[in-house]
């Protein structure tokens, strides 16, 4: 009995270590992509004058759809590269949840598999549910 | 002003925002909004988009360090994320119908509350008697201290869950991590030791922000020209802050910054009231 508890705890600690590494890897990758896009952006547009950020343009802006970002990415548009980095940053915590889902499945923790699925469903709904309005 | 100058000044400002956010425990996102709106006269909607990104970067960066120490309660975080993500989505919907001046006033109020919460007495006690629900949901756990692991149990799960939903709405509406509300739910309602509640709250902020981030991206709130210096600056500042925290005791600094933030909050409320946003 005692042995069972200790192996269970070791598994939990391993999962935590991997989650920690995953988060760090995601943030570093996203920052590097943003940095690359940002440097290209400064090289190409740095000398232009600052856009009117006090006027909100909203959806007239470029690179606000997945399609637009990927198309711009493959033509090396600096703004699209920055937005791709932004997407990577947003995806990092979501990947963490997906990883936890697998960890709970391996531990056969049904209750937490369901809880994790609910969280994923909410995020999925907001991302693809046309909440944009 | 050229884009290059603007980017460099904003990078420096975001670095300071990340540093202050980390030293006060408020998070970088909260400081980014007044910086962009009051100092750079950027529309508050762009500021909210940038703050959301700063919150995610901050949370993921800091959480990776805390998880390694084994203090974060992952099950508790996951369970409460149902409340915060649902709230965040609701907040992103409410945001469409809320005038920007109202958002600025609301932000000022949350900022005042957060500053007050940083200075409060912290819950160090670990409960030995938990509620039935906390056992059913497997939320009771233990955390390492220099004198060995300490077990803790929790209660008022329903109340904590409700406050978390409000925290989620604020997060979705204002683009901030609303760490203060999260800690209120865990410390005050659920009686969790503050080391566990602050790290678990930090862990949850990224997911909460991610739940509304894509909606804001699609609405055009996230401008690459602002996102680039803000994300990198805040991350750098938070990193320096975390290094500094191991060497200095920030209690005096914390009081100074909290007073400064109170003035910033009042200015946000004043400007919002006079329809300057």
Calculate the alpha carbon distances from B242 to B14, B54, B173 in Å.
16, 16, 28
Task: Say yes or no to pLDDT of B123 above 80.
Answer: no
Contacts of residue A133 in chain B, CB cutoff 8 Å?
93, 96, 219
Question: What band does A1 get if pLDDT is binned at 50, 70 and 90?
Answer: very low
Report the 10 Å Cβ neighbour count for A4.
Answer: 8
Query: pLDDT tens digits, residue range B244-261?
Result: 877 777 778 888 888 888
Report B:82-111 residues touching A (Cβ under 8 A). 82, 85-86, 88-89, 92-93, 96
Task: Tell whether the torsion through CA atoms of B206, B209, B214 and B220 is positive or negative.
Answer: negative
ipTM: 0.90
Q: Give the integer Cα–Cα distance in Å for A87 and A78.
A: 14
pLDDT value for B82: 97
**Mean pLDDT, residues B222-243 taken together:** 91
Task: Find the CB nearest B43 among A54, A116, A125.
Answer: A54
Is the model's pLDDT at B148 over the cut of 90? no
Q: Output the six-digit token pair for B108.
A: 């000022």
Residues of chain B contacting A61 with CB distance shorter than 8 Å: 220, 223
Q: Do A24 and B64 touch (CB under 8 A)?
A: yes
> What one-character-per-residue DSSP string does A4-72 give?
HHHHHHHHHHHHHHHHHHHHHHHHHHHHHHHHHHHHHHHHHHTTSBPP-TTS--GGGSSS-SHHHHHHH
Minimal Cα–Cα distance from A57 to chain B, Å? 7
* Closest residue on chain A to B71 (Cα): A16
* Whether the Cβ atoms of residue B177 and residue B208 lie closer than 8 Å to each other: yes
Are the beta carbons of A31 and B232 separated by less than 8 Å?
A: yes
DSSP assignment, residue A107? T
Which whole number is the average pLDDT over B212-216?
90
Give me the pLDDT at residue A11, please: 64
Helix, strand, coil share of chain B (percent; to 5): 75, 5, 20
Place of tokens 């009042």: B266
Angstroms from A90 CA to nearest CA on chain B? 5
Residue B52 pLDDT level (bands cut at 50, 70, 90)? very high
Given a cut of 60, whether residue A96 has pLDDT beyond it is: yes
Those residues with Cβ within 8 angstroms of residue B4's Cβ, 6 or more apart along the chain or in another chain: A42, A46, A47
- Count of the separate structural domains present in chain B: 1
**CA separation, residue B86 to residues A87, B26, B80, B168, B208 (Å):** 21, 22, 10, 7, 9
Structure token pair of residue B193: 């030791």
Residue B140 — left, alpha, or beta (φ > 0 → left; ψ -120 to 50 → alpha)? beta
Torsions phi, psi of A48, nearest 5?
-70, 165
- Assess whether pLDDT exceeds 70 at residue B3: yes
Tens digit of each residue's pLDDT (9 = 90 or more) over A50-84: 888 988 988 777 888 888 898 898 888 999 999 99
Structural domain including B248 reads 3-273
Burial, A123: exposed, middle or buried (Cβ in 10 Å; 0-12, 13-18, 19+)? buried
Q: Could A19 and B74 be called an inter-chain contact, meaning their C-beta atoms sit closer than 8 Å?
A: yes
Q: State how far the alpha carbon of B249 is from the alpha carbons of B146, B178, B198, in Å.
A: 18, 24, 17
Residue in the block written with tokens 């709130």: B221
CA distances from B122 to B166, B200, B206, B252 (A): 21, 15, 23, 16
In this prediction, residue A8 has a pLDDT band, given cuts at 50, 70 and 90, of: low
Chain A environment of B226 (Cβ under 8 Å)? 53
- Mean pLDDT across chain A, nearest whole number? 86
Least Cα distance to B36 among B56, B9, B57, B58 occurs for: B9
Query: Does the pLDDT value for residue B116 go beyond 90?
Result: no
Of the partner residues B82, B220, B221, the one whose CB lies closest to the CB of residue A119: B82
Q: Which residues touch A63 (CB under 8 Å, ≥6 apart)? A: A69, A72, A77, A79, A80, A83, B224
Please count the other Cβ atoms lying within 10 Å of the Cβ belonging to residue B222: 28
Q: In this predicted model, what pLDDT tens digit does every residue of B159-199 receive, in sequence order? A: 999 999 999 999 999 988 888 888 889 988 999 988 888 88
* Confidence bin at A2 (pLDDT 50/70/90): very low
In chain A, residues with a C-beta closer than 8 Å to the C-beta of B57 are 27, 30-31, 89
pLDDT value at position B245?
77
Q: What is the DSSP letter of B150?
A: E
Reduce the DSSP state of residue B151 to 3 states and report it.
Answer: strand
Q: What is the least distance, in Å, from the CA of B76 to any CA of chain A?
A: 10
Query: If you average pLDDT over each of A64-78, A119-133, B4-18, which comes out highest?
Result: B4-18
Least Cα separation, residue A53 to chain B (angstroms): 5
Mark which residues 18-47 of A lie under 8 Å from B by CB: 19-21, 23-24, 26-27, 30-31, 34-35, 37-38, 41-42, 45-47
Give pLDDT, residue B187. Answer: 87
B80 touches chain A (CB under 8 A): no
CA distance A35 to A30: 9
Average pLDDT, chain B: 89
How confident is the model at residue A9, as a pLDDT? 55
pLDDT for res A131: 58
Confidence of residue B61 (pLDDT cuts 50, 70, 90): confident
Give the pLDDT confidence score for residue B211 in this predicted structure: 92
């Amino acid at each position: 009995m005692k042995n069972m508890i200790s192996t269970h705890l070791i598994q939990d600690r391993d999962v935590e270590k991997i989650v920690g590494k995953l988060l760090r890897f995601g943030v570093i990758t996203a920052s590097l992509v943003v940095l690359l896009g940002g440097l290209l952006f400064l090289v190409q547009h740095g000398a232009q004058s600052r856009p009117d950020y006090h006027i909100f343009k909203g959806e007239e802006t470029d690179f606000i759809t997945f399609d637009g970002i990927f198309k711009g990415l493959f033509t090396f548009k600096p703004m699209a590269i920055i937005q791709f980095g932004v997407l990577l940053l947003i995806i990092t915590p979501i990947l963490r949840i997906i990883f936890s889902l697998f960890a709970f499945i391996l531990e056969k923790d049904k209750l937490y598999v369901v809880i994790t699925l609910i969280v994923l469903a909410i995020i999925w709904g907001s991302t693809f549910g046309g909440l944009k309005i | 002003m050229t884009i290059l100058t603007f980017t460099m000044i904003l990078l420096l400002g975001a670095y300071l925002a990340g540093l202050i956010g980390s030293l006060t425990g408020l998070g970088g996102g909260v400081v980014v909004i007044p910086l962009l709106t009051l100092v750079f006269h950027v529309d508050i909607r762009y500021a909210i988009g940038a703050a959301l990104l700063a919150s995610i970067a901050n949370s993921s960066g800091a959480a990776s360090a805390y998880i390694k120490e084994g203090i974060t309660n992952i099950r508790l975080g996951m369970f409460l994320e149902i409340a915060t993500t649902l709230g965040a989505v609701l907040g992103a919907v409410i945001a469409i119908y809320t005038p920007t001046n109202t958002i600025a006033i609301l932000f000022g109020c949350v900022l005042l509350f957060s500053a007050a919460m940083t200075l409060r007495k912290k819950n160090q006690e670990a409960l030995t008697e938990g509620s039935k629900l906390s056992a059913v949901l497997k939320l009771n756990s233990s955390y390492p201290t220099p004198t060995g692991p300490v077990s803790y149990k929790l209660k008022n799960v329903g109340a904590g869950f409700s406050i978390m939903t409000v925290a989620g709405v604020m997060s979705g509406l204002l683009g901030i991590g609303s760490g203060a509300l999260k800690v209120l739910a865990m410390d005050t309602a659920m009686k969790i030791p503050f080391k566990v509640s602050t790290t678990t709250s930090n862990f949850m902020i990224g997911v909460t922000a991610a739940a509304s981030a894509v909606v804001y991206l699609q609405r055009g709130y996230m401008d690459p020209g602002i996102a680039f210096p803000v994300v990198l600056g805040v991350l750098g500042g938070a990193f320096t802050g975390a290094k500094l925290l191991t060497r200095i005791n920030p209690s005096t600094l914390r009081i100074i910054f909290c007073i400064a933030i109170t003035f910033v909050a009042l200015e946000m409320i004043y400007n919002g009231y006079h329809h300057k946003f």
